Amino acid sequence: MYFKVLHKKLSLMCALLILCVGNVQAIWYESTGSAPIQRGNTDLARQEAVRNAVKDALLFAGATVKSAQQVTNGLLTQDTFEVRASGVVNDIQLIDEKKQGNHLYVSIRADIFADERQCFTTQYRKSVAFLPLRIQHSSHTKVGSVYQLPQMISEQLFHRVSTTTTHIDPRVFLPSQIKMKEGMNNNNLRHELAQVSKQSESQYIISGLIKDMSMTERPEAKWKSIFSADPERFFDLQLYIYDGYTGQQIQILDYSTQAEWPFDTRQMTDVSSRRFWQSDYGQAITEQLVKATGEIDSILKCQPAHGKIIESTGDTIRINLGHSNNIQVGDKFKISHQANFVDEDGNDHPQYVITDYEIVVTDAYSNTAVGKSPTMQLLGNVQVGDIVKQID
């Protein structure tokens, strides 16, 4: 299906029919494209310039050159804009147009979805910060006095991700919990995530909520006296994966199990002991953590690896990616500014404003790298906090 919008309109609101499967994330990208005006044909130049701008946005979003070309081919035809429901580009707005000499320059803002049918991965490991798990019902920890169990489970998850994953660079396990509350608006949540991201120098943030650790009894236990069965205890966990740079939620993961609780419910249970973790209940938790570790690694494998500029001087910058992320001397990056814009309905959206600046890595360290402009160009508009993404 195609939706046509006349090019005379400044705002190209291309409402596409998108089939959403699972969690689909969209981020706005602002980019500029140009094209020569041949034989006075401004319409044709505009179409080509928009194609180039959309292609640059797709490449920065993580698409391959081939896939970006496939999306932009046939995007615009004749004197109208036609946008095909590709499942990748959801919305395009033309925000500026100007002529310089015999060239036409257009600036567009594109709402780009991460297409779940494809995995635009890089060789870079994603920097991740872990937050302690919260517990929904604190009263559940009173049974067996397992007050430290949420902390122990948090540390176990961080250890497993640190030692068994291949696409993640676990930066830090932060002692404080994110100040998330049910009903928190997006702006407040985005601010909290940005603070955690800055503190940990990590792009992605993983937090979670233990929703149930209550006790139950097997039905047959009621009919037994001397040989009554051990009660069972539930374990329901919900994990959240966020992009700390944009404040967007990437995925929600749910895990649920139950197992016999062999310990005295009236006595304190040593949740750090081998006996606890070798019990049926401890092993049931471990099984869920193993499953969660694999799923987190698989999900982040297909997410883009962005870095942030932490220092900028002249033609040189320092970014918060390094050897731990597989950064190598000679790697090339493109710089974008991070900003927000408010739509017609008053909703705030994060966006990347893609620049022409490029840098090449000259030195790499454990968690940082230094890059310079290959043309010795002064990076005058580049600021601390700007985003970098690898380019081929």
pLDDT digit string (tens) for 181-229?
555 667 788 888 999 999 999 999 999 999 999 998 654 444 444 455 7
Q: pTM of this prediction?
A: 0.74
Q: Place 251 in a pLDDT band, splitting at 50, 70 and 90.
A: very high
Terminal-residue alpha carbon distance, the chain = 33
pLDDT the model gives residue 244: 93
Radius of gyration of the chain (CA): 25
d(CA 61, CA 57): 6
**Residue 258 near residue 225, CB atoms below 8 Å:** no
pLDDT the model gives residue 188: 82
Per-residue pLDDT of 271-281, as tens digits, reads: 999 999 999 99
Portion of the chain with pLDDT greater than 70, in percent? 77
**Residue type for position 255:** Y
What are the structural domains, with CATH classification, of the chain? 2-113 (3.30.1660.40), 126-301 (3.40.50.10610), 306-391 (2.40.10.410)
Structure token pair of residue 188: 């407040």
Per-residue pLDDT of 339-383, as tens digits, reads: 877 777 777 777 888 888 899 999 999 999 999 998 888 888 899
Mean per-residue pLDDT over the chain, rounded: 80
Per-residue pLDDT of 303-324, as tens digits, reads: 889 999 999 988 899 999 999 9
Q: Place 152 in a pLDDT band, splitting at 50, 70 and 90.
A: very high
Summarize the confidence of residues 164-176 as an average pLDDT: 90
E strands present in the chain: 2-6, 26-36, 76-77, 80-84, 89-100, 103-113, 126-130, 134-135, 168-173, 204-212, 215-216, 232-243, 248-260, 306-313, 316-319, 332-342, 348-364, 369-372, 387-391
Q: Which of 24-38, 105-119, 229-243 has the lowest mean pLDDT?
A: 105-119
Q: Which of 93-102, 224-233, 338-347 has the lowest mean pLDDT?
A: 224-233
Per-residue pLDDT of 13-62, as tens digits, reads: 332 222 233 344 567 888 888 888 888 888 888 888 888 888 777 777 76
Q: Place 80 in a pLDDT band, splitting at 50, 70 and 90.
A: very low
| 3-class secondary-structure state, position 222 | helix
